[in-house]
Amino acid sequence: MTFADLISRRSLLILLATLPLFSLSALEAGEDDSKQKTIFMRSGWQTVNIGDIGHTPGTLRYLEEYLPDVKVNLWLHRTTDEVTAMLKQRFPKVNIVQGKMNARGKANNPEMQKAFDESDLFLYNSGMHFNQFWPPPIYIIEACTATNKPLVLYGQSFDGFAPEDEAKMSELLSRAAAIYTRDVESFYYLRKIGVTSPSLAFGPDGCFGIDVRDDKKANAWLNAHDLKPKEFITITLRSNTPKLKATKGTVMNPTQPTKEDIAQNELWTKKLRTVITDWVRTTKKKVLLAPEVDKEIIHAQKMILDQLPEDVKPYVVNRDPFWNVDEAASVYAQAIAVVSMEPHSCIIALSMGTPVMHLASARHGLKRWMFRDIGLSEWLFDIDNEPASQITRALLKIDAKPALSQSKVDRAMHTVNTRSKEMMGEIKEILDQQ
């Protein structure tokens, strides 16, 4: 054996001897880089409103699709066994917690504290909580500031703060890593009051991502009420009436209706009754009174169905009992069109591929402009001022031209999904900086 062979053999033995140590050191050095990123998502505002239920699975679906390697800890404000079961079945990897938190980021139970502490980003899901009508959740901003955790406000409407609070709220909101407003009017408002979040832009409501369904339950109910696929429309009422049996912690809307509220109820329901009557008499097709909020079931019965002409009543069904959002989605998927005073029934229907008409009142806030901002202005109506005949005309056009209507739905959802993908990309960039 030559001296060169001896050196080569010795070098090989040394390399083999040190390889396990080298590999271990390399893994340890890269441990932080490979750590799974985690999002703490706040959602689930109500369970008496399918829109508030729908925000959660919608945004979770976008997270699952575009950020598949990110872990999600979900903080639900309210839930039921049925809602939790639906979420767990569709998103088995999501860790669900409940509890309270203070402005220092301290939770009232260990499970929630652990979920918050391990998260790299706080995502506050879609809604309209930052305004002058009720105390905004400032503690969330302060908790994220205290723990150096980036905050994303996802698909929010900002209906304005009291003038004396605008400077303070501008400073607080500017701390957010990203703010996505689900309507462009909110975007302009935040710019006007000086919000300087690093990413401030239009971004659709998370409910648009919803894909949960319960076809079995929906089909059984539709069959029981002789409602055939694509042979009925749905009508959703939003009235100025309280829930008849108040549930503790449930927000009334309003608690004590004024004479003006009652007069507005009559204006709205008269137009809805006219649309229903003209639809039935023209098409001989059925109508489902579909509640977005549970309190409206009895009001739809009394203020709409009971007051319809006798020849129209047999064509109209009032949905009772209330439903979960997955069953509602399966029903909306089979409707010719969803006509709703509430925006989220329209959102759920669009996500299912169904044409919609949103009959909005200015008193219900800026969120009505969501439909204009995704290209559906012709299906957005001012129910306070526009005549029922215009609503009926647009509805009959949807029925007469299904291919054209479907094209409009597809175009709007392409806009929504493209922008939602971009938002998720920006969220990933924020996570990667942590």
pLDDT tens figures, 241-251: 876 544 433 33
Evaluate if residue 119 carries a pLDDT over 90.
yes
What is the band of 29 on the pLDDT scale with cuts at 50, 70, 90?
very low
Cα(65)–Cα(155) distance, integer angstroms = 17
Peptide bond into 229 cis (omega under 30): no
Treating both helix axes as pointing N-terminal to C-terminal, what angle do 166-173 and 138-146 enclose, rounded to 10 degrees?
40
Q: Which two three-digit tokens encode residue 213?
A: 């369904």
Cα(253)–Cα(363) distance, integer angstroms = 12
pLDDT value for 241? 87
Evaluate if residue 4 carries a pLDDT over 70.
no
pLDDT in tens, 305-333: 999 999 999 999 999 999 999 999 999 99
pTM: 0.91
pLDDT in tens, 340-372: 999 999 999 999 999 999 999 999 999 999 999
pLDDT value for 16? 40
- The residues facing 382 across adjacent strands are 360
CA atoms within 13 A of residue 347's CA, in its CB half-sphere: 32
Q: Which domains does the chain have, with CATH numbers?
A: 35-209+416-432 (3.40.50.11720), 215-414 (3.40.50.2000)
Q: Which two three-digit tokens encode residue 427?
A: 């969220």
pLDDT value for 34? 66
> What is the chain's mean pLDDT, rounded?
92
Evaluate if residue 87 carries a pLDDT over 60.
yes
pLDDT value for 263? 95
Evaluate if residue 35 carries a pLDDT over 60.
yes
pLDDT value for 345? 98
What does the longest C-alpha to C-alpha distance in the chain come to? 110
Evaluate if residue 3 carries a pLDDT over 80.
no
pLDDT value for 328? 98
